Amino acid sequence: MRHGKLLFFQTLGNNSNLKRHRISAAWLEQQQACNLPDCERFLQSLRTGESLMPMTEFEVTVHLVQRAAQAGVLDVAWFCYQVLTWGAYQRWLLLADKLYFQEGFFLEFLPGGDPGIVRNECQLRAFLCILKEGDSRYATE
């Protein structure tokens, strides 16, 4: 099986908070990702001059999640449910709510505050924290 080149995103797949360490276009289709064409275009953009095969795998990393969020193809809640272990998923739910009620809740009431955007940002930040928590490379941060 051929693995995707992710430039500096390659890891050893040793994140203790993940039940799914790698994803592919075929896996996203199997999981019925609602924005599959956008996800496939995003994954293709990560390939360096090579075509994307359905089984091309990409490591689930902080950098991949950040890039997917910036590209607008990441449904944070759905993806967390798919890739996090049950314990990590429960911690993510608690942290996302905590961030939202500490920081995001009041932003909704400012002019131009969008509850969906604010909640999604809190969910993303919580997901990145959970990913870093389970990755031994971030242990010293």
What residues does each domain of the chain span?
A: 14-136
Task: Identify the residue whose tokens are 């999604």.
Answer: 120
Closest of 59, 99, 55, 92 to residue 76, by C-alpha? 92
pLDDT band for position 46 (cuts 50, 70, 90): very high
- Name the token pair of 52: 């994307």
Residue 110 has pLDDT above 50, yes or no: yes
Q: pTM of the entire structure?
A: 0.82
pLDDT band for position 2 (cuts 50, 70, 90): very low
pLDDT of the residue at 113: 61
Mean pLDDT of 114-120: 77
- Chain-centroid distance, C-alpha 49: 24
Mean pLDDT of 55-73: 94
> In whole angstroms, how far apart are CA 43 and each of 48, 83, 114, 122?
11, 17, 28, 24
Report phi then psi at 122, rounded to 5: -65, -40
Mean pLDDT of 64-68: 96
